[in-house]
């Protein structure tokens, strides 16, 4: 009985906390310079060497990780601090990244976080890290030492088709099916392979993948799979799924889908606090998934402009509430998180490198739309397109 009461009690406590933070003018105040300085102070506190290359994930971790170094690099880029770093320092950072890349596969292997999840997960792990790394390299003005040789099998469209066909595209994709993260990782890395290594076979695979996904899009919802529009949990999952696929199209400026329906779906996911989830303490992932769709697509649907900009203003107020006392941002308020490995974990209401980067990226996306400017200094497949 006590166990069955725990979850509702936890939800009630969390909602009270969220409500309290949202009603605190100081917590909600969007003072960019103050927010920026606090975030920079947090990142600096994670630094574990004199060169400014190695970083730990949170105050609860003891070892530097490659993931965290990439997050530091991307955070500095978002906050306009990379320009203060010398070319020599950038070259050392690139050399550190290069030292972790496999000559055989092109993937990156950090012995600190190597575990049974690392090789074949896509919400975290080798392919997921590679997609982060191309963004980090791009911010530094470099590229990986080796091409992504592991993509060889995915450049075979017969193999690609067989893999995609193994999933039921007429069903609802629940969170246990991580195909959307994998498609994003593979598709965006194929685009990078095409553009930075002049790989025409990778380009052919990208075109095949885009055409396949367009054919599988649900014309009634603008999403992929079957979702009950009256079920907030299913709609949220559908929008998250769409977020992982859309960068593959938007990087190549392919807009052959129903923008209006995508915007409608994303707008429906916003809760009363401004986040984008059925729960009050929406996660960094849930928030950016809807924010990206709204911010990137509103330019193609002027009739939605007023509604979308109002939603984004409300979202910004929510995102900054997730910056906590140590200057970092949390993945989800009032909950701890282990991101694939013990050396990538943070306790409740403590900042961590991944959500700090992702929530700052959410603010950059929304500011792009609200102020009609570009807050992203780079253009790259994946997160920066």
Q: How far apart (Å, rounded) are the C-alpha atoms in residues 45 and 369?
A: 32
Tell me the percentage of the chain whose pLDDT exceeds 70. 94
The predicted pLDDT at position 17 comes to 64
- Mean pLDDT over all residues of the chain? 93
Angle between helix axes 66-78 and 87-99 (nearest 10 degrees) is 150
Which DSSP string corresponds to 286-306? HHHHHHHHHHHHGGG-GGGHH
pLDDT tens string 76-111 = 999 999 989 999 999 999 999 999 999 999 999 999
Asked if residue 301 lies in contact with residue 259, where contact means CB atoms within 8 angstroms, the answer is yes
> Phi/psi class of residue 373: alpha, beta or left (left: φ > 0; alpha: ψ in -120 to 50)?
beta
Within 10 A of 183 (CB to CB), how many other CB atoms are there? 22
Q: Which residues are within 8 A (CB) of 296 and not within 5 positions of it... i.e. 6 or more apart?
A: 246, 250, 365, 369
Q: Is the pLDDT of residue 382 over 60?
A: yes
Q: How far apart (Å, rounded) are the C-alpha atoms in residues 331 and 144?
A: 29
The predicted pLDDT at position 372 comes to 79
Instruction: Measure CA 169 to chain center.
Output: 23
Q: How many helices (H) and strands (E) does the chain have?
A: 14, 2
Give, in order, the Cα–Cα distances in Å from 305 to each of 61, 129, 364. Answer: 43, 34, 18
Give, in order, the Cα–Cα distances in Å from 224 to each of 104, 166, 211, 221. Answer: 34, 15, 14, 8
Instruction: Please give the residue that has the higher pLDDT: either 293 or 219.
Output: 293
- 3-class DSSP state of 217: strand
The predicted pLDDT at position 134 comes to 99
pLDDT tens string 17-54 = 677 777 676 666 667 789 999 999 999 999 999 999 99
Round to the nearest angstrom and report the end-to-end CA distance of the chain: 49
Q: What is the mean pLDDT of residues 2-14?
A: 55
Question: Of 125, 160, 117, which is closest to residue 248 (Cα–Cα)?
Answer: 160
Beta strands in the chain (DSSP E): 337-338, 345-346
The predicted pLDDT at position 9 comes to 53
Q: What is the mean pLDDT of residues 294-304?
A: 97
Give, in order, the Cα–Cα distances in Å from 247 to each of 94, 183, 223, 381. Answer: 25, 11, 14, 7
Q: How far apart (Å, rounded) are the C-alpha atoms in residues 97 and 127?
A: 15
Backbone phi and psi for residue 281, each to the nearest 5 degrees, phi listed first? -95, 70
What's the full length of the chain, in residues? 385
Q: How far apart (Å, rounded) are the C-alpha atoms in residues 227 and 184?
A: 20
pTM for this entry: 0.94
Q: How far apart (Å, rounded) are the C-alpha atoms in residues 232 and 274?
A: 15
Q: What is the mean pLDDT of residues 141-151?
A: 98
Pull the structure tokens for residue 23. 């009603």
The predicted pLDDT at position 217 comes to 95
Burial code (b: 16+ CB inside 10 Å, e: under 16) for 219-243 equals eebbbbbbbeeeeeebbbbbbbbbb
Which residue has tokens 């994946």?
382
């Amino acid at each position: 009985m006590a166990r069955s009461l725990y979850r509702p009690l936890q939800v009630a406590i969390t909602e009270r906390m969220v409500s309290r933070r949202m009603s605190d003018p100081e917590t909600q105040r969007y003072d960019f310079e103050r927010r920026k300085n606090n975030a920079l102070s947090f990142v600096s506190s994670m630094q574990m060497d004199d060169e400014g290359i190695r970083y730990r994930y949170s105050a609860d971790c003891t070892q530097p990780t490659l993931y965290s170094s990439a997050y530091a690099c991307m955070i500095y880029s978002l906050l306009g601090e990379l320009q203060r770093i010398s070319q020599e320092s950038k070259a050392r950072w690139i050399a550190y990244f290069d030292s972790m890349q496999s000559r055989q596969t092109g993937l990156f292997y950090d012995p600190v976080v190597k575990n049974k999840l690392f090789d074949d997960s896509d919400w975290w792990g080798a392919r997921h890290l590679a997609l982060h790394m191309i963004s980090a390299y791009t911010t530094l003005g470099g590229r990986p030492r080796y091409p992504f040789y592991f993509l060889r099998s995915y450049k075979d469209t017969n193999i690609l088709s067989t893999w995609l066909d193994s999933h039921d595209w007429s069903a609802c994709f629940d969170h246990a099916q991580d195909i959307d993260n994998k498609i994003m990782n593979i598709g965006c890395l194929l685009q990078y392979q095409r553009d930075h290594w002049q790989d025409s076979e990778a380009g052919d695979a990208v075109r095949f993948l885009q055409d396949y996904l367009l054919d599988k899009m649900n014309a009634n919802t603008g999403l992929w799979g079957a979702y009950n529009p009256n079920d907030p949990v299913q709609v949220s999952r559908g929008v998250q799924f769409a977020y992982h696929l859309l960068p593959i199209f938007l990087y190549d400026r392919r807009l052959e889908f129903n923008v209006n329906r995508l915007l409608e779906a994303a707008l429906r996911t916003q809760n009363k606090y401004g986040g984008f989830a059925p729960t009050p303490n929406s996660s960094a992932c849930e928030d950016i998934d809807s924010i990206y769709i709204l911010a990137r697509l509103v330019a193609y649907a002027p009739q939605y402009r007023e509604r979308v900009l109002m939603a984004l203003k409300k979202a910004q107020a929510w995102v900054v509430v997730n910056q906590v006392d140590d200057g970092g941002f949390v993945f989800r308020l009032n909950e701890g998180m282990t991101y694939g490995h013990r050396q990538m974990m943070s306790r409740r209401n403590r900042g961590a490198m991944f959500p700090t980067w992702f929530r700052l990226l959410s603010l950059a996306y929304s500011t792009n739309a609200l102020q009609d400017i570009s807050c992203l200094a780079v253009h790259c497949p994946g997160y920066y397109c």
